[in-house]
Homo-oligomer: A and B are copies of this chain.
Amino acid sequence: MPQTPSTRWCPTPEQLMILEEMYRSGVRTPNAAQIQQITAHLSYYGKIEGKNVFYWFQNHKARERQKLRRRLGRHQQLLHYQLHQSEDAPPPPPSPILQHHMPPHFLHQGATSQGLDLVGKLETVGMEEEEEEEPMTSAMGFEQEWMATMDVSSAVPPCCRPLKTLDLFPVKSTGLKDECSSSKSSSCSTSTN
Distance in angstroms between the alpha carbons of A168 and B162 in the assembled complex: 8
Distance in angstroms between the alpha carbons of A8 and B189 in the assembled complex: 5
Name the distance in Å between A152's Cβ and chain B's nearest Cβ. Answer: 5
Interface string of A28-58 (1 = CB under 8 A from B): 0011011001101101111111011000000
Interface size class of A (residues with CB under 8 A): 35 or more
Distance in angstroms between the alpha carbons of A104 and B25 in the assembled complex: 9
Q: How many copies does the complex hold?
A: 2
Let me know if B137 and A147 touch, CB within 8 A: yes
Distance in angstroms between the alpha carbons of A10 and B11 in the assembled complex: 33
Chain B neighbourhood of A167, CB < 8 A: 158-162, 165
- Residue of chain B at shortest CB distance from A37: B169
Query: Secondary structure at chain A's binding surface: helix, strand, loop or mixed?
Result: loop
Residue of B22, B101, B157, B188 near A4 (CB, 8 A) is B188
With an 8 A cutoff between CB atoms, is A66 at the interface?
no
The residue among A80, A96, A186 with the most chain B CB atoms within 10 A of its own CB is: A186
Name A residues whose Cβ lies closer than 8 Å to a Cβ of B.
1, 3-14, 16-18, 21-22, 24-27, 30-31, 33-34, 37-38, 40-41, 43-49, 51-52, 68, 71-72, 74-75, 77-78, 80-82, 85-86, 89, 92-93, 95-98, 101-109, 111-112, 114, 116-119, 123, 125-127, 135-174, 176, 178-181, 184-193
A/B interface sample: 19 pairs, CB < 8 A = A13-B68, A13-B75, A13-B127, A14-B92, A21-B174, A22-B171, A24-B174, A27-B169, A37-B146, A41-B97, A104-B164, A105-B166, A106-B164, A111-B114, A112-B148, A116-B145, A148-B192, A159-B167, A160-B163
